[in-house]
Structure 1
Amino acid sequence: MSYFTIVALFVAVLSLSLTGYWLLLQKKIFQFLKKKNTGAERWASQSKPIFGGVIFYLSFLFGIVISLFLVDFSLISSKYVGVLIVCVSISFFMGLIDDLNNQGPLYKFLIQIACGIILIAAGMHIQTSDNIFINYGITILWVTGIMNSINMLDNMDGITGSVSAIILLTIIGIIGFSPTPNLFDLIILICIFASILGYMFWNWNPSKMYMGDNGSQFLGIILAIFSIQYIWNSTGNVEGINYREFLLIGLSFLLPLTDTIVVFINRLAAGKSPFVGDRNHTTHNFVYLGLTERQTAIVFIVISLLTNAAVFYIISFTDVVIHKNYYLILASIGVSISICLYILSRIVKQKNRQ
């Protein structure tokens, strides 16, 4: 597939996404796609349309259709395509139903576990250990964890879309620089990446719409599946536990994971359920200290770009021998950022008490 085809595909999907979102905002028939539970404690008004994920999902399907004309499907496993469609579809519709009817966390959790089990049954699981049961357990934790982390990170304009787009761009780069790139995956991810950029035009503060649970659950399963293939399993042979992959995945998903961990710790310490929304996310703390929502989004974009650039470099340029001390430095940087975000949350909490 030529560079011209890639650019043309990206521009086409981006244009269609921008137009699609604009049309949906004009049509009153789509006004039913608003959050059912608008009374819950959230950072901003929940009355805006929440159909961002609809275009994500349509772009995913569009990518599959386009790949029929651009990819030799004799090289693609039909089981792989089927599992991908099933997991993405049930995740998207699970989120959409939750948006419209407010099903609760247990409903989502069971679907997320089901997606993890499907991936394991299809052999699309994490392979970071020589113990298969450890791999299965980490796979379930990863799928459920990332789907919830992306959902929880969707708490302020411009945050989740931008962070997810950067992670996707990293995976696209890893595929593109591979000696034998998987064109099917590349096409799908380019389509989704373009649709996220189209969404960001309408979600950048002050936003016109949200992605909703239909969008965050869609992105969660997409990121979970493709990060397993191209980050978790980026090393061929595994002996014992492959700590390199834990470092790479931690850096790539540093902000979603840190936000979830910090929020869980603070909510449990306050005697609250970790699944009940509030206004004490890592993003909110920056605003409490004086940054605007746009500035906060830019901070998250910069951090995500830097950490994912390191991940892309390490995975894509395998001919470069990296000393273990550099891994320790990267791990220290990642841990330091997480600790700083946690300390910031405690400072803000202490400040609010005064």
Structure 2
Amino acid sequence: MAPPGRHRRTTVDPLAVSPRQEERDHARLAKIHCKVLKGHSDAVTSCHFCFDDTKIISGSCDGTVKLWSFKEEHVGPISECCLSPDNKRLITASYDKTLKAWDTETGKVLWSVEQDGLLTSCDISHDGKYVVSGSDMENAICLVDAVNAEQVACIRGHHRSTVRRCRFDPHNQRIATVSSDMSIKFWDIIAQSTTISVEKAHTNAISDCCFSLNGHYLCTAGWDEVLKLWDVRTGEFRSHGPIVLEQGHIGIIGCCVFSKDASLLVSGGFDKTVVVWDLNQAYKKISLKGHDHWVTDAAISGNKKLIVTSSKDCTLRLWNIENANEIPVVIQAIRARGSKVAKCEECEKPFLIFQEKEDRVETRCVFCRLKAHKSVLPVPPSLPADL
């Protein structure tokens, strides 16, 4: 016991703070916001501000340099982004109901347009003049001047359900849209009216669509597990229907994209796979597996050697398919179908021939055959001479 009249001496930690002081410090520090930038896989050795303090550049022992954008101009998820033909502007559509154009060199926002409803898709015309966006409010599409951000047109009730995708055709004459209502619509920019409407194009919602670079075909990807190729140049689908690509995915197909020469098609699905289709004979060439969640988007390089895919698993994957024809699985699939490579006599591009009939050998690829095929209309009977 301590002697009478004296207090017990206690040991005090000079670094300790009182509970009240700790609460005050926590409240003060809580007002200092911090955003963690994750992406490097080893020690980060250098960091700098750049582009007028709108971005950060970092270097790491993992051998990579990364450019970070830390200004959160969108306050909601970005549904889609696309580049202008000259690569100088980036267009983004967001669930925060805004459509924005960015300068790709400086990272600055050039303009921002507020629209009604969550924006589900966006695209920029091939001449860089217009931007189109799809909105879930009244299932509308809106056309905006890409330079001065003025609204050119807003078509409300364009579909009966959510607009999933909107795409300019390569000739900048019309916009193709697909929707959860299972329909495809073409809106003419000059006439400012819907010129073609394909009802029940799929048996379930349509997730995505894309044009071939020559504008001849439109591909649609559906929740009904199939892809469809529509001959929109000649309108041949009206009499003969689309080319159907099936048995490639199990479940919803979420995205699709043509190669520049339309000889390949890449699709991604909710089954976590990426499928490469050979369009000369409309069959599945190879299935790529590796993503841990559904595939949200895909792109293919101009030389058809590389494919990049994005996924809900928070990753991008870069696939090298240059030597795909040398993979045993692909060779076996080709042999099993009894095929051989030939040169199209019309477009002079290589395509696979499948010997289904010995007395008939195709000399043109499927695209040239469809292009040449025309429906024959019956000749009306002649009128009597006395009428």
The TM-score, its normalising length taken from structure 1, stands at 0.25
Tell me which structure has the larger Cα radius of gyration: 2
User: Quick one: higher RCO (CA 8 Å, sep 6+), 1 or 2?
Assistant: 1
Provide the TM-score with structure 2 as the length reference: 0.23
- Structure in which a larger fraction of residues adopt helix: 1
